[in-house]
Amino acid sequence: MKKIDRGITFVDKDMGLFKCPVCDEGFSKIVHKSIVCKQGHQLDFSKKGTLYFLKHGVKSDYDDEKMWQARRSVLTAGLFQPIIDKIASFLPHNKALKIVDAGCGEGSTLNYLDQQRAGLNDIYVGFDISKKAVDLATQISGNSFFCIADLAQLPFMTSSFDVIIDMFSPSSYEEFERVLKTKGLLIKVIPNKNYLVELRHMLYEKDDLHYSYSNDKVLTLFKQHYPQAKTKRLTYKFLLAKTNFESLLYMTPLHWGATESRISAALSQGLDEVTVDVSLLIIENN
């Protein structure tokens, strides 16, 4: 099946998940290769089977194909598999779930989660503001649907999803609460101070602001919204034997502020392993 046909089939089956970015009404039908809302506004499916929900063009540092290709390489090698395994452990295994990945990037998270929950008939939707990331996500022959959308105006109906996953992405908590079902789960993954610390120290001097990291601001904001949230820390070493160091370097914004000389030195030196140090913030929507 062509990508566009696969995307149309998904949306036709689960049209009730989506809302029009123009009028906020639900969609009512698919005509040819377009989806039409109840007020007659129309969105065309791309050749890759995606929908573009942004009302205006957006420039982003994250719309970098080299970065997304590097991220695909490292994630395929398993960098985040223990994190996704931990996420899966919090999900009920006795029913099918509607799961959305906020800031899905190139789609590896949903693909791996789908494999972990094979046979449960979950519905997976991923969105990102980067068109290049979403285009790359459609290359995965999985069961997920991907779209280009903005966190501040999610193209989903109220109380649409059982689970929201937010890995290393910004959050719009008001929108998350709107689209999450009652008793639904929000699982946000944030880096801790030792996340990729070896790479950070290779790229920056000790007196540089980027040499160290604190998640205090992110954690404080989350706890302001969800004081009853559970926090689970996960720390492990990832061996770089299955991928190359250059991909690790370019998959993360850590290199953006580094000098060319520091980047060159890091590429020459390389690393055998890196530390993954994250916290999972889990809340049930009331």
Read off the DSSP letter of residue 256.
T
> CA nearest 231: which of 241, 223, 240?
223
Rounded Cα gap, residues 275 and 192, in angstroms:
10
* Residue 146 labelled as part of a binding site: no
Rounded Cα gap, residues 202 and 197, in angstroms:
9
Q: Indicate the residue type of 34.
A: S
* Residue 20 labelled as part of a binding site: yes
Tokens describing residue 14: 């689960």
Rounded Cα gap, residues 145 and 124, in angstroms:
6
* Residue 37 labelled as part of a binding site: yes
* Residue 107 labelled as part of a binding site: yes
Tokens describing residue 63: 């719309």
**DSSP reduced 3-state for 95:** coil
Rounded Cα gap, residues 40 and 168, in angstroms:
36
- Cα Rg of the chain (Å, integer): 19
Q: What DSSP string runs through 221-250? A: HHHHH-TT-EEEEEEEEEEGGGS-HHHHHH
End-to-end CA distance of the chain: 40
* Residue 226 labelled as part of a binding site: no
* Residue 41 labelled as part of a binding site: yes
Q: Which residues pair with 165 in a beta bridge?
A: 101, 187
* Residue 124 labelled as part of a binding site: no
Rounded Cα gap, residues 101 and 85, in angstroms:
15
* Residue 142 labelled as part of a binding site: no
Annotated binding-site members:
20, 23, 37, 41, 80, 106-107, 195
Annotated binding-site members for Zn(2+):
20, 23, 37, 41
Annotated binding-site members for S-adenosyl-L-methionine:
80, 106-107, 195
